[in-house]
Amino acid sequence: IGDGAPAGNYGYTNSGYSVYEEENERLTESLRTKVSAIKSLSIEIGTEVKNQNKMLSEMDNDFDSTGGLLGATMGRLRALSRGSQTKLLCYMMLFALFVFFVIYWIIKLR
């Protein structure tokens, strides 16, 4: 090699090569830390999505059962209104209004 550099270091000086190597190690460690943080964050997001899906499924089941109960109640009210028990229906509606106002009054006092 004709430029005066020792044959063992392929033209790089020891100090310059080690600076690049140290910078590469530092950048590699920084990248490793960021990848680890992103991995843990994505695992947490996956866990949260599973929990939210489970909660939505439970809410769907609750709404279905409530809808069925409400439908049955409305069917009974229709049957009462068709029959000769209109007086009983009026009493039931008045009682429902009374209960509503009592609950409203209790909530208003708090």
Per-residue pLDDT of the chain (110 residues; tens, 9 = 90+): 445 545 555 555 555 678 889 999 999 999 999 999 999 999 999 999 999 999 999 999 888 888 888 888 888 878 766 766 677 778 889 999 999 999 999 888 87
- Cα dihedral: 84, 88, 92, 93 (round 10): 60
| Position 88 in a domain | no
| Position 97 in a domain | no
| Position 36 in a domain | yes
Domain of residue 79, residue span: 14-83
The model carries a pTM of 0.47
| Position 106 in a domain | no
| Position 4 in a domain | no
